[in-house]
């Protein structure tokens, strides 16, 4: 390379004693680096990621009910790489409860229906989904997605895009063995699952129920367990709960309703008291059986032993101060409450719902019961300390259900084989 005459004088004028390096602590790079990667396309690098992001639509009945499905969806989208995916969430109906926190860049679309509509308008708007599904689809969401995910138990809230290049996923987060035996109802679900490329079950119980109801779709089903960030559970669990909590107690988390078996849990406590064990029950959640159970609590004389805590954004600070979790639910896809309990070193007593089999670890960390008598015996055994699992073993076991593991499976099993790739 030619060197100009007088370069030394020019450099000294511009940079001073340029041949003497500065002290090591002040030495910094002043030149751009050029990377040559012969194994990867330039499209994989940051400069072109916007053009290659996959547009993903998640849609569900509601993202504002404060339930477990909403928390699971929030965990998924918050942990998907923002450099790879543009994510929209559509809820068909909006309620006034707080939504889960989302990272910046995730877009929540305008809901199809909200409580602002009059009752007559609500009825008409709701029926339009059945009369004109294509029109409703065009109204609530654009047809420009690479991947569409129906995130519900069944009863599809919205039809998939008719474009053949769109990857369509039906994510079933509840067991469907109790689906009404109504042919019109079943036909709706059969059609929805028939248009899906993949059906995701969140537990073996859910998978078995789908296979039993719709055996023709057996080969479409894959199981992906819900994933959790355990710091999001263990750190809030250390917060002050703002009240005195009894040590000999159990916790029940979820909507207070018949489907969740909350009334049965209260009956179990009453039986335990009749046996002379004065245990306490902390109910976290709200529902249509609130008033009925409060009346029943007074009838049984359990006002000082049953604590209605309502909806809690941080249920962990209460759960961590009880001896166990109790769930008499009739239907769960994969109970997040079981995972939360085990991560806090608390066992559970439950009916045979989705996730109970996997998380009980053959009875090591939880008891699956088939009768009230079995439930009473298990609760007394745990609270009295006659039987209690090792906290270190529980902590090691639950690491199988991290969000990192879930996201890895989502990308490998669902997103990587997108149509058109």
Q: Give the span between the Cα atoms of 354 and 208, in whole angstroms.
A: 10
9, HSE (Cβ side, Cα atoms, 13 Å): 3
Residue with tokens 């529980």: 394
Quick one: pLDDT at residue 337? Answer: 92
pLDDT tens track for 305-333:
999 999 999 999 999 999 999 999 988 87
Per-residue confidence of the chain (421 residues) as pLDDT tens digits? 456 666 566 455 545 676 777 676 556 555 444 556 665 554 444 444 445 899 999 988 777 776 678 888 899 999 999 999 999 998 877 777 777 889 999 998 887 776 666 677 767 776 776 677 767 777 778 889 999 999 887 667 688 888 999 999 999 887 776 666 667 778 878 888 999 999 999 988 889 989 988 999 999 999 999 999 899 999 999 999 999 999 999 999 999 999 999 999 999 999 999 999 999 999 999 999 999 999 999 999 999 999 999 999 999 999 999 999 999 998 887 888 999 999 999 999 999 988 899 999 999 999 999 999 999 999 999 999 999 999 999 999 999 899 999 999 999 988 876 565 5
Rounded to 5 degrees, what angle do the CA atoms 110, 116, 118 make?
Answer: 125
Please report how many Cα atoms fall inside a 13 Å half-sphere around the Cα of residue 361, on the Cβ side: 16
What integer pLDDT is reported at residue 179 of this predicted model?
A: 66
pLDDT of residue 26: 58
pLDDT digits 0-9 by tens, 127-170 = 776 677 767 777 778 889 999 999 887 667 688 888 999 999 99
Query: For the chain, how many helices (H) and strands (E)?
Result: 16, 15
Name the token pair of 346. Answer: 């608390």
Domains of the chain, CATH where assigned: 7-46 (no CATH), 47-227+403-415 (3.40.50.2000), 231-401 (3.40.50.2000)
Which residues make beta-bridge pairs with 326?
349
């Amino acid at each position: 390379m030619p060197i100009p005459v007088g370069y030394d004088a020019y450099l000294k004028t511009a940079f001073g004693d340029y041949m003497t390096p500065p002290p090591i602590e002040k030495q910094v790079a002043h030149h751009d680096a050029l990377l040559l990667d012969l194994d990867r396309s330039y499209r994989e690098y940051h400069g072109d990621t916007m053009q290659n992001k996959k547009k993903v639509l998640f849609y569900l009945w509601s993202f504002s009910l404060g339930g477990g499905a909403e928390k699971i969806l929030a965990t998924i989208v918050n942990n998907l790489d923002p450099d790879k995916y543009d994510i929209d969430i559509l809820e068909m109906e909006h309620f006034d409860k707080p939504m889960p926190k989302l990272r910046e860049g995730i877009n929540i679309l305008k809901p199809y229906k909200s409580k602002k509509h009059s009752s007559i308008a609500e009825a008409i708007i709701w029926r339009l989904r059945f009369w004109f599904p294509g029109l409703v689809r065009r109204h609530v969401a654009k047809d420009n997605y690479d991947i569409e995910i129906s995130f519900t138990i069944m009863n599809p809230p919205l039809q998939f895009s008719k474009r053949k290049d769109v990857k369509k996923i039906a994510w079933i987060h509840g067991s469907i063995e109790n689906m009404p035996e109504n042919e019109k109802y079943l036909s709706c679900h059969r059609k929805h699952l028939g248009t899906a490329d993949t059906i995701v079950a969140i537990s073996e119980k859910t998978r078995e129920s789908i296979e039993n109801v719709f055996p023709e779709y057996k080969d479409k089903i894959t199981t992906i367990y819900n994933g959790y960030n355990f710091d999001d559970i263990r750190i809030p669990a250390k917060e002050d709960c703002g009240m005195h909590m009894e040590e000999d107690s159990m916790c029940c988390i979820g909507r207070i309703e018949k489907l969740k078996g909350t009334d049965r849990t209260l009956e179990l406590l009453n039986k335990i008291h009749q046996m002379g064990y004065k245990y306490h029950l902390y109910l976290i959640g709200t529902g249509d059986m609130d008033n009925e159970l409060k009346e029943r609590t007074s009838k049984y004389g359990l006002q000082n032993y049953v604590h209605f805590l309502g909806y809690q954004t941080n249920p962990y600070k209460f759960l961590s101060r009880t001896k166990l979790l109790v769930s008499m639910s009739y239907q769960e896809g994969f109970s997040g409450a079981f995972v939360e309990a085990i991560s806090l070193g608390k066992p559970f007593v439950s009916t045979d719902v989705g996730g109970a089999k996997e998380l009980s670890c053959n009875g090591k960390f939880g008891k699956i019961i088939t009768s009230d008598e079995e439930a009473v015996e298990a609760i007394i055994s745990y609270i009295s300390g006659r039987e209690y699992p090792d906290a270190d073993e529980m902590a090691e076991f639950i690491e199988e259900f991290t969000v990192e593991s879930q996201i890895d499976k989502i990308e490998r099993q669902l997103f990587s084989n997108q149509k058109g790739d």
